[in-house]
Structure formats: C-alpha cells, structure tokens
Amino acid sequence: MMPQPTNDCLLRALRHEHVEVTPIWMMRQAGRYLPEYRKVREQVGGFMDLCRTPDLACEVTLQPLRRFPLDAAILFSDILTVPDAMGLGLHFVEGEGPRFERPLQSAKDIEALGVPDPEQDLRYVMDTVRLIRHELAGRVPLIGFSGSPWTLATYMLEGQSSRDFRVTKTWIYNHPEAVHALLNVLTEAVSLYLLAQIRAGAQALMLFDTWGGILTPKDYRAFSLAPMERIVRSLKAHDPSVPVILFTKGGGAWLEAMAAVGCDALSLDWTTDLSTARARVCGKVALQGNLDPSVLYASPAVIRTQAAEVLAAYGAGSGHVFNLGHGIHPDVPPEHVATLVEAVHDLSRIYHL
Amino acid sequence: MMPQPTNDCLLRALRHEHVEVTPIWMMRQAGRYLPEYRKVREQVGGFMDLCRTPDLACEVTLQPLRRFPLDAAILFSDILTVPDAMGLGLHFVEGEGPRFERPLQSAKDIEALGVPDPEQDLRYVMDTVRLIRHELAGRVPLIGFSGSPWTLATYMLEGQSSRDFRVTKTWIYNHPEAVHALLNVLTEAVSLYLLAQIRAGAQALMLFDTWGGILTPKDYRAFSLAPMERIVRSLKAHDPSVPVILFTKGGGAWLEAMAAVGCDALSLDWTTDLSTARARVCGKVALQGNLDPSVLYASPAVIRTQAAEVLAAYGAGSGHVFNLGHGIHPDVPPEHVATLVEAVHDLSRIYHL
C-alpha cells in the first residue's frame, strides 16, 4: 500500500470536488530556470542521461517542490521515451531540441516496430516513478505522462522538430494507411507505458500532444484525437480512478471533441479564454491552464494581476487546475515563480467559499 | 483612367456577387518555387534589392500569371517595408528570415519614430504598383498589402522573428502604454501606405497579421485587432469600394470579432473548417483560404481531392476566394500548382450554377 497524498487538492480539482484554493503546478517546473537543476545537469553527460538515472531524475523532480508550495510533482522525463525504446535513438542537440538518430524512412521501417515492454525497455522510467513516489511520502500527487501518438509520429518521421512538417505531411497525404499503422503501434505502446506508470505509482496522467495543432480539423480527429481516445478508454478500463489530462497545443478550436473522449481534464494554452472554454465543455471535464508563460518575464505586480485574470476567467467553483499555457521558459527568475504560486493560492480562496 | 480588369472574378467573390468559378490566388505565388523567379533573384544582391527595383519586382509579380490562370496578382514586396522606411534597416539573412539592424530599445526610440510619406519614403513600392497595374492591362486585379501594426511591432522590438517573443511580451506586460504608442504610429503609417497603394492602382488590400495568434484573446483585441480596425475604417472612409482582407495566422478562434471590424474578407489558415467559419461569420464577410500548403507536396490525385474538400466545406454560393492557409513552400513542384489551379476552376463550377 502506497501512502495517499496529504495535499490532494489537485486530484479533487480534477474530480470537480471542493477545494480550498485552486491547485497549481507548472509544465517543466523542474528545469533550467532553477540553479539547483543546472548543477545536477552539469554532473551528467546529456539530458537523456539525467532521465535515465532514477536518483537524479527523482532529485530534480523534487527540487521545485522544496522552493515553492506546488500542488503536484510531475515525473522528470521526456515525451519521446517510447520511440527511443523502439530503437530510434533519441538524443538532444544543445539549443535545438530532440533528434532521432534513426528516423523512419519507409513502410517497412514502420512494420518492423515492436511494442516496448515498459518494465523491461523503459525500466528507468518505472524506477524513477517508484522512487519519486516513495520520496514524496504522500505530500502531493505525482503526475506521469507521455507524448501523444501523433506527436511521437511526427518526430519519428521527421527525425526532429520541424517548421513545416514536410515529411510527415507528405506521409499523411500520400500514404495515410501507413501513418495509421504507425499510430496503431504507438497507441498500444503508449497505453502500456502509461498503465505501467500507474502501477509504479503515478496518480494522474497527462498526454502531451505538442503537434496536433498543425493539422486540419478533420485530420486532427483522425490522426491525433482518435489514438488519444483509444489510450484514454484503455486506461479508464483498467483504473477509472486515475485522472487523465489531454493537452493539444493550439487545439483551442476542438475542445468539445476533446472533452468527449472520456478524459478528466483538458489543458489549455493561453490563446483560449477559460470562461469561454468552461462554457463550451459544459462541466464534462476540468480545465488546466492557462497563463502565458511569458508573463513570468514581467514584474511581480503584473504577474499577480495576470494570475488574477486567469482565476477570474474560470470563476467560482472547482474543476480548475492553474498552470501555464506551455512549459516555463528557461530564463525566468525563480522569484517570479514564487510570486505566481503565492498569488494563485492567495487570490483563489474567494472562488472556493 | 486605369483599365478595369477583364477577369474580375476575385472582386466579385469578395463582394458576394455571382461568379462562374471560385477565384484562386496563392500567398507567395511569386517566389522561390519558380525557376524563373530564382533566375531574377540571382541577378540582384538581396531580397530587398529585388523589392526596391520596380522593373524586377513587376517582372516576378507577373511570372506566376504566365504559367497558371490565377485570378489575381499580388504586389511583390515584403510585409516589413514600413518600419524599414522608418529607419530600422531591414535586411534578410539567407534561410533565417527578416532582421532589423536597429531594433527599438527604449520608449525614446518609439517617440522618435516618424510616419513615412509613402510617395517619398516608399516610392519604390508605389512605382512597382503603378508598373504592375500598367503591365497587367486589366487582365486580373492587383492586390496590395502590408504587415499589421502588431506584426510590425513584434519585429521592431525583437529585431527578428522569435520563438517565444520574450522582448515583445515583456514590453506588453510591463509597459503596455509604450506599446500602444508604437501601435498608434504604425496604424497611421500603415493607413497612409495602403491608401497610397490604392491611389497607385491596388484594387484590393490585405493586412498580414502573422503574429496575432501568439496573444491571449484579450491582448489580441487590444494590440492586434484594434489597430487593424482603425486602418480598415480609415481606408473605407476614403474609398469604400476597395475590398480589404484580414489575415491573422492562428486567429481561428476570433473570427466573429474580426468579421465585425468593417473588412470585406477574412483569410483563414487550415486549422479552421470553412463550413464552421462560414456559419460563424453569418455572411458578414467573404472567406479566403484555406488549403494546407503542404498538400502541394502530395501527388496530383491527392491535391485534387484535398482541393475538392475545401470547396465542399465552403459549399454553394459566392463569397469564397480559394487560397492556401499560408505562403506556398519554396520547394513544391510548379506542376503541382498547375494541378491545384486547374482543379479549383474545374471542381468549383457546380457551386456557382
């Protein structure tokens, strides 16, 4: 039996239950903006070495929680661990983001892909989850995650991030059946991976769909949302109590469709107003977000005002998890993050009387 | 008296008048994907030298019209000519996009900005418009354009394109009044610039708001849409017969607000479905778009199918101008463009019976 969290504000908000304050955590809350993170990072060779060393990955996961009264921890890892375990060779080029050494080049490459066994092939992630959960000792819940099948597929086909996704787009327009085959393998692999994270101790899960927003509405449903729906259904069939959060960056137009796939919450970037979003999803799901991460460059007074606007946009009642609309920028001052966390807890009380 | 266009299909579609086929033109239709463009480009030093030489700018404007039966010409120029005329020093770094030599660094820099006289300081653009209009001899209408004040402001503050717009965001959060002062000068400058283009012969105008989509809904209205509205009102007060098209990339969430500023048409990227968009704007404006430019990487058969889907999404009746959802990619085969233009003319007849 693992201990239940003392501060379960996040889980209650995701279930629309009463909370005293709006919970807050931040995408990439463990990261380069913290000097103590940079120190650990310098001790290891590359970013993936940090992810692959459970002791250190656990340490950096806990760092932001020592500084700020955050309401959740999130596993320190990468969205692309699954294709790495499939043999594509993930590595990071400083300042340029992720790269695969062996991107997919043909339908044969897709057919040859196997589904990784999480406890074998991604053991370092499972060990990290177990370790963090133990070290947290129930103080706050632990969030696990993966990239969405569509987002994984774009990196696997392009080999890296892209401006126009020429390779991926040519595949989906000329060979949609091959892309569906790839998404099918990834859907199975991500489902097993997230189930294993639950078994290892993750208490909530998030699917990061970084590149769903580059698609037409019809292609978004077919290539990005449908695989995510299959994953959510599979997770819920196994354990309906673990909340699942979907995040499609640039997906503000598709909230109704996203809210209908059986997930518990949608994470929103800052281009959608929370009051509009709340009306559109009709209470079906909780909402997470959505402060522009660049607000953390502004002065503390402005940070408070902008946080107040996000809280007011959601309004009274439970079902809101405060977050940034995307990952925290690596060069924001940690004191600005402290200001934000304090402001959210302070200013949100009136919405939960 | 300048001759009226023989093919005025574009202007009729923008006025919701009957057309026989859906008109088509493409953003960046004059550009690097054409070998004859690359040949002219090699004769001059840089991209801006081409823009500043009316003979050559006119020549490349006309090149795509010799290959394809397009329904409009668009002035060959850049969206950033106005801040260049304000003294910021526009230049292009190969493969990296536009740069300003002297970006704005303080509120004093903003106060020091003057409004350029288009016939003096941007004479090369006006001469190009006059020359193209003469050379077209009324075959198709000529579209003039500018970047939106907000988009110009981001480049003037950052000095170049940006991933996270740190400088601009810090300005709007910490010194919104200075940004409004900058937008006021730009609004006046762009209004005068577009009015001068009308006087020189432009028969339709388009405002390119490349970076409105990085803002929150509230900031979009204040910093991007409000200045565009002032420009549209000013143009319409001068000559209500010249149609004005607004394009905010990533602005699909805000169509209702955009349709209310007095413009004639909205240009859409491919993340919004034309049938949904048409229902949302209630016939107030025409719609332009919105094929994913990456479709031009696909096979001719797929290009036809995808074009058919865009036409079917808009449906029967006038008010649709076919276009890409963004500029044409520089490496698409010209024959694929020929396929698209033919498909649009061919497949759209049934919607205009």
Interface of B with A in 277-316 (CB under 8 A): 292-295, 297-299, 302, 306, 309
How far is the first Cα of chain A from the last one, in angstroms, to the nearest whole number?
34
How high is the pLDDT of residue B296? Answer: 97
Kindly report the backbone phi and psi dihedral angles of residue B179, in degrees, each rounded to the nearest multiple of 5, phi listed first. Answer: -65, -40
CA distance linking residue B285 with residue B163, whole number of Å:
32
Whether chain A has a CB inside 8 Å of the CB on B275: the answer is no
CB contact under 8 A, B216 and A165: no
- Whether the pLDDT of residue B1 is over 60: the answer is no
pLDDT confidence tier of residue A163, bands split at 50, 70 and 90: confident
Residue in chain B closest to A306 (alpha carbons) equals: B173
Vertex A76: Cα angle to A72 and A81 (nearest 5) = 130
Contacts of A295 in chain B (CB under 8 A): 169, 173
Beta bridge partners, B143, equal B74, B204
Asked if A253 contacts A273 with a C-beta cutoff of 8 angstroms, the reply is no
How high is the pLDDT of residue A2? Answer: 61
Whether chain B has a CB inside 8 Å of the CB on A175: the answer is no
pLDDT confidence tier of residue B276, bands split at 50, 70 and 90: very high
How high is the pLDDT of residue A96? Answer: 79
Contacts of A250 in chain B (CB under 8 A): 250, 271
Q: Which of A297, A299, A331 to mutate to test the interface with B (most CBs of B within 10 A)?
A: A297
Whether chain A has a CB inside 8 Å of the CB on B165: the answer is yes
Helical residues (DSSP H) of chain B, grouped into ranges: 9-14, 35-43, 47-51, 54-67, 81-83, 107-111, 118-121, 123-136, 149-158, 166-174, 176-200, 217-219, 226-238, 255-259, 274-281, 300-314, 334-348
**How far off is chain B from A18, nearest CA to CA, in Å?**
28
Closest among B105, B112, B208, B193 to B156, alpha carbons compared: B105
Contacts of A292 in chain B (CB under 8 A): 169, 216
CA distance linking residue A87 with residue A102, whole number of Å:
8
pLDDT confidence tier of residue B35, bands split at 50, 70 and 90: very high
Spell out the residues 6+ positions from residue B152 whose beta carbon is closer than 8 angstroms to its own: B79, B80, B82, B83, B186, B190
How high is the pLDDT of residue B163? Answer: 82
CA distance linking residue A246 with residue A206, whole number of Å:
6
Across all residues in chain A, what is the average pLDDT?
A: 96
CB contact under 8 A, B253 and A253: yes
Tell me, what amino acid is at A122?
Answer: L
Asked if A216 contacts A223 with a C-beta cutoff of 8 angstroms, the reply is no
Q: What is the pLDDT of residues A176-206, one digit of tens each?
A: 999 999 999 999 999 999 999 999 999 999 9
Comparing A34-38, A44-48, A186-190, the range with the smallest average pLDDT is A44-48
The whole-number average pLDDT for the span A247-261 is: 96
* Spacing of C-alpha B17 from chain mean position: 22
CA distance linking residue A327 with residue A307, whole number of Å:
16
- Whether the pLDDT of residue B237 is over 60: the answer is yes
Q: What is the pLDDT of residues A295-344, one digit of tens each?
A: 999 999 999 999 999 999 999 999 999 999 999 999 999 999 999 999 99
- Please name the member of A164, A218, A306 whose beta carbon is closest to the beta carbon of B329: A164
Residue B319, CA distances (Å) to A54, B14, B60, B71, B288 in order: 59, 6, 28, 14, 8
CA distance linking residue B88 with residue A102, whole number of Å:
44
CB contact under 8 A, B217 and A329: no
Interface of A with B in 238-257 (CB under 8 A): 250, 252-253
pLDDT confidence tier of residue B161, bands split at 50, 70 and 90: confident
Max mean pLDDT among A38-47, A272-281, B4-13 falls in: A272-281
Whether chain B has a CB inside 8 Å of the CB on A171: the answer is no
In the A/B pair of chains, how many CB contacts fall below 8 A?
A: 90
Contacts of B174 in chain A (CB under 8 A): 298-299, 302
pLDDT confidence tier of residue B45, bands split at 50, 70 and 90: confident
- Whether the pLDDT of residue B5 is over 80: the answer is no
**How far off is chain A from B309, nearest CA to CA, in Å?**
10
How far is the first Cα of chain B from the last one, in angstroms, to the nearest whole number?
34
- Whether the pLDDT of residue B219 is over 80: the answer is yes
Query: For every residue of B10-70, which 3-state class applies, written as one string?
Result: HHHHHCCCCCCCCCECCCCCCCCCCHHHHHHHHHCCCHHHHHCCHHHHHHHHHHHHHHCCC
- Whether the pLDDT of residue B4 is over 80: the answer is no
CB contact under 8 A, A273 and B213: no
Residue B353: helix, strand or coil by DSSP? coil
ipTM metric: 0.92
Residue A80: helix, strand or coil by DSSP? coil
Give percent of chain A above pLDDT 70.
Answer: 99
**How far off is chain B from A102, nearest CA to CA, in Å?**
23
The whole-number average pLDDT for the span B6-10 is: 94
How high is the pLDDT of residue A286? Answer: 98
Closest among A50, A48, A56 to A85, alpha carbons compared: A48
Which residues of A are known catalytic residues? 28, 32, 41, 78, 155
CB contact under 8 A, A294 and B173: yes
Give percent of chain B above pLDDT 90.
Answer: 95
- Whether the pLDDT of residue B202 is over 70: the answer is yes
On the CB side of B80, how many CA atoms lie within 13 Å of its CA? Answer: 27
- Please name the member of A174, A276, A294 whose beta carbon is closest to the beta carbon of B169: A294
CA distance linking residue B145 with residue A237, whole number of Å:
55
Comparing A2-16, A138-152, A266-280, B45-59, the range with the smallest average pLDDT is A2-16
Contacts of A220 in chain B (CB under 8 A): 271
**How far off is chain A from B21, nearest CA to CA, in Å?**
24
Strand residue runs (E) in A250-332 = 265-267, 286-291, 320-324
Contacts of A166 in chain B (CB under 8 A): 294, 297, 329, 331
* Residue carrying structure tokens 């690359």: B38
CA distance linking residue B321 with residue A333, whole number of Å:
48
For chain A, the residue count is 353
Interface of A with B in 66-95 (CB under 8 A): none
Q: Which of B216, B275, B306 to mutate to test the interface with A (most CBs of A within 10 A)?
A: B216
Q: Which of A292, A302, A305, A314 to mutate to test the interface with B (most CBs of B within 10 A)?
A: A292
How high is the pLDDT of residue A93? Answer: 84
Can the peptide bond before residue A290 be classed as cis, meaning omega within 30 degrees of 0? yes
**How far off is chain A from B123, nearest CA to CA, in Å?**
34
Whether chain A has a CB inside 8 Å of the CB on B273: the answer is yes
How high is the pLDDT of residue B109? Answer: 97
CA distance linking residue A128 with residue B198, whole number of Å:
64
- Whether the pLDDT of residue A3 is over 80: the answer is no
**How far off is chain A from B271, nearest CA to CA, in Å?**
5
Asked if A331 contacts A337 with a C-beta cutoff of 8 angstroms, the reply is no
Which residues of B are known catalytic residues? 28, 32, 41, 78, 155
